[in-house]
Amino acid sequence: MPRTTTVESPGCPPIRALTFDVLGLVKVIEARGKQGGVPKVVERWGDPDPSRCVLAASINDRKFDPLLAVARRSGLIEVLSPVNGDLRVSITNTSQTDLQPEDDPVVGLHMLRKQRLELSSRSCTLLTCTTKGHASMRSLEVPKSPKDSISSDSPTTWNVCAAGNILCSKVDGNENYALFGGKGVEVNVWDLDTCTKIWNAKSPAKDSLGIFTPTWFTSATFLSNDDHRKIVAGTNSHQVRLYDISAQRRPVISIDFRESAIKAVTEDLDGNTVYIGTGSGDLASFDMRTGKMLGCYLGKCSGSIRSIARHPDLPVLASCGLDCYLRIWDVKSRQLLSAVFLKQHLSNVVFDSNFDDTDVAASAEDLPSNKAQQNVNDTLDKDEEEPLPVKRKKASEEHKSSKKLKSKKKSRNLDEDEEEPLPVKRKKASKEHKSSKKLKSKKKSRTLDGNDVDVS
């Protein structure tokens, strides 16, 4: 049975995340409030269709005209607006010449932040790679409306593998190099300016028992955004390997983690830590300088983890997978901040880092900027809040008075009935009082009678 636990979520800081699932839906999750906001689904883009399953996604979250690129199973590559979900560009993958999209799907997609051609500010450059190793890079200009014509340069295509299947790809922080790896394909690094291979890994040697581990890479990333020489890769044989292309072709460090395949690897901002997600729902962080595990997120996930995203500004980590949950974690304490159930199997998650600068800043302007304004607002709030109960009391008194006016005749009869028992009770009390007086007078009379008898 899947491992599930009930955890009280303290909430997460203001964030905006976009998730992608197997039915082609794009869901926007936002958490508002500076003190423990609860993430909620605020928008959903698209209609459920298995043929439009999102295989890869990449976002360019610049402040002016941000763009979001998604690769679908049908072979389409769509450029959307991450703000409102409007379709800007829809193109087909040009590397698919002889094969059907189902036979050679896109496994790697990256939207370059810097412009490789002198186009307008609405231009973008897309790097794609398919399972058979067909890589393509093209620059195109995003039109103002989908009806306008799309202007693009001739795409640059090359083959990154001769045999095997590509399962993972990644572009470094400076966007000058890209790595590829997969089943039967060793990790290799390419120069994007010249489209030439600069490094290729070598299979590890046999172990002490003479057993050879077959090549099967499931995920990989660059350890640092500023250094493309160090690569961290996860394998299907539950190993985490560190490669240094300036030192040797074989892994420098190899770590065995749990007993299931590594499905997601993401680097941290410090350039030394990586986050690992497995097929059994295990999430952990490793310090690749020593190869030691810093901590493990146990008992929280119940399905295979397919994507991990690190927020570029906040100490927050997001993970999603086949258990249909988007989970937000605290990087420092490794505590689950919140979990959102999204109904479909999730394939990718990305952060919109400019959400804090737009919506939260706008809401912060409405708050008082100094103590004087705060005191004025407090007094105004008190003046506005105090008349409410007074009005409610007056309304209740008017309601009561109206009832009294309507029931005057009945109240008079009731008042007479209520006032009549009072003298009855008083009479009874007076009779009892008189009887007690008579008893006392009798005793006195007896004594007096006795005295009279003696005297006579």
pLDDT 10s digits, 388-413: 443 444 444 444 555 554 445 444 44
- Residues of the chain where predicted confidence (pLDDT) is lower than 50: 1-2, 5, 117, 357-399, 405-407, 409-432, 434, 447-456
Nearby residues of 81 by Cβ (< 8 Å), 6 or more positions away: 66, 67, 68, 88
Give the Cα separation of 181 and 201 in Å (integer): 10
Question: pLDDT at position 382, please?
Answer: 43
Burial grade of 355 (CB within 10 A; 0-12, 13-18, 19 or more): buried
**CATH code of the region 15-365:** 2.130.10.10
Strand duo 196-200 + 185-191: pairing = antiparallel
Picking from 15, 11, 106, the residue whose alpha carbon sits closest to that of residue 312 is 15
Q: What is the pLDDT of residue 33?
A: 76
* pLDDT attached to residue 111: 93
- Neighbour-count burial of 330, counting CB atoms closer than 10 A to its CB (0-12 exposed, 13-18 middle, 19+ buried): middle
CA 107 – CA 175 distance, rounded (Å) = 18
State how far the Cα of 283 lies from the Cα of 101, in Å rounded to an integer. Answer: 32
Give the type of residue at 227.
Answer: D
Per the structure block, which two tokens stand in for 219? 């995920």
Report which DSSP code applies to 51: G
Per-residue model confidence (pLDDT) at position 223: 96
Report the chain's C-alpha Rg in angstroms. 39
Express each pLDDT in 270-320 by its tens digit: 999 999 999 999 999 999 999 999 999 865 677 899 999 999 999 999 999
E strands along 38-163, which residues?
40-45, 54-60, 67-72, 76-80, 87-92, 106-112, 123-130, 134-141, 151-152, 156-159
- For residue 439, the surrounding DSSP H or E stretch is helix 421-455
CA separation for the pair 260, 239 (Å, rounded): 9
- Residue 393 CA to residue 399 CA, distance in Å, equals 10
Strands of 239-244's sheet, edge to edge?
A: 217-222, 230-235, 239-244, 253-256
